[in-house]
Structure 1
């Protein structure tokens, strides 16, 4: 899972920064007609609170093909749970990202020739989400909205802002390599009073 998390939400401070977009000058009227608003101080377009950011997917600067994210959320929670360390038996705190209902996920799937009539590399608003036909790979990219809350697991990439936030709670939350699955994922190295350095 490649996870783009933009703003932390908690029960204390909900004064979050606006969800800014990267709208080229030639597309400003399209963005405005979809509901985007102009911030004269930052000189950027943004998604007003209450509007679904899925409509503006093509202008989310972090969601370029180079970044390769397959899930994003405008808000997230950092959840804490307690468990006994398997190595030293001390009680330890574990932290994870928890995503509210409405987070977005990317599904990429191959298609048959019946998509040939679609205009390639253009995002279209459909009943299932935002779709783009990629003619080069004969596949469709579909961003959809998840109606349920969920924790994030098997994270292999995360936005720098979100990583810095969770490291305030657990400085040992970092990338690790799983020999079992042969993948790089976010791991927690346990630091207890005995500093057992168990990997979770």
Structure 2
């Protein structure tokens, strides 16, 4: 990712400001200027909780709730599983555990640099923004025509949502392109959907 954003509680804003962090008024987020080391902001860094040796981008067409025109929406997809950070309450040990099932990601707060470059190259209007509903910043879809925000909640969480198909036919509308590039990110995963096996894989968007 081009710059490093920070998750800063309101009561700690003066502390990061004194350390040199800058406030982006448009995105409503604190970030680390290029001339400063991110290490001094370790307390507020968005650390990865998911990683994999490869990943895919999923794309499907939907109609915009604002302008009623067709637009594409995207998400990160793991067809061969991934590792996620877990915590043992008894031993207080933090460790990585393997999830063997395919999964879509939602509320993506951070993506490692190499993966982010590929995502930016192969998507449209899938950019970091603030969600009032989720009360957080994450990589969000926007209409390619009017710029309206398309949040993750319905697309991933509701049965029949763009990335939560309830029939093989709906799943076949989803297109996938894959990359043999490692990825680390901070995000939530959607529940496993048996219709993921109907998703179409391809070398590029058509």
Normalised TM-score (structure 1): 0.49
Larger radius of gyration: 1
Q: Which has the higher contact order (CA 8 A, sep 6+)?
A: 2
